[in-house]
């Protein structure tokens, strides 16, 4: 797996290349615990489709939360304030 004219200093390890080969061309969801983000790895030139299983799992988790009563009323001002705090934290990290 050699790329010509690659501008990225990042290279996959042999183990990661094996995972890519076994993905059958499907996008890979890579979770990074350090920043609590999930990255999507797709082959260049391939338009990824939404992973239906990933969406179903998220919907199932939401339904389970509702069934447990883990819900509260929406408060737009609280949501906006939390978003401002999150944005400020992210800006400080960069």
Same domain, 12 and 54: no
For the chain, the helix, strand and coil percentages under 3-state DSSP, each to the nearest 5: 45, 10, 45
User: What is the average per-residue pLDDT within 56-84?
Assistant: 92
Same domain, 55 and 76: yes
Q: What is the pLDDT of residue 29?
A: 84
Q: What are phi and psi of 24, to 5 degrees?
A: 55, 35
Q: Is pLDDT of 9 > 50?
A: yes
Same domain, 14 and 1: yes
Same domain, 40 and 56: no
pLDDT tens figures, 46-64? 776 667 777 888 899 999 9
Q: What is the pLDDT of residue 76?
A: 95
Structural domain tally of the chain? Answer: 2
Same domain, 35 and 57: no
pLDDT tens figures, 12-51? 889 888 888 888 878 888 888 898 888 888 887 777 666 7
Range of the domain at 39: 1-47
Same domain, 55 and 81: yes
Q: What is the pLDDT of residue 1?
A: 43
Same domain, 43 and 54: no
Distance, in Å, from the CA atom of 27 to the CA atom of 79, rounded to the nearest integer, reads 31
pTM, 2 dp: 0.41
- The residue from 47, 63, 81 where one domain ends is 47
Q: What is the pLDDT of residue 7?
A: 67
């Amino acid at each position: 797996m050699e790329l010509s004219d690659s501008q990225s200093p990042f290279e996959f390890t042999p183990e990661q290349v094996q995972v890519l080969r076994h993905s059958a061309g499907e996008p890979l969801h890579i979770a990074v615990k350090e920043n609590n983000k999930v990255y999507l790895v797709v082959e260049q030139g391939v338009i990824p489709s939404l992973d239906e299983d990933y969406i179903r799992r998220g919907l199932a988790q939401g339904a389970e939360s509702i069934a447990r009563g883990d819900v509260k009323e929406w408060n737009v001002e609280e949501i906006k304030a939390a978003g401002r705090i999150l944005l400020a934290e992210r800006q400080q990290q960069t």
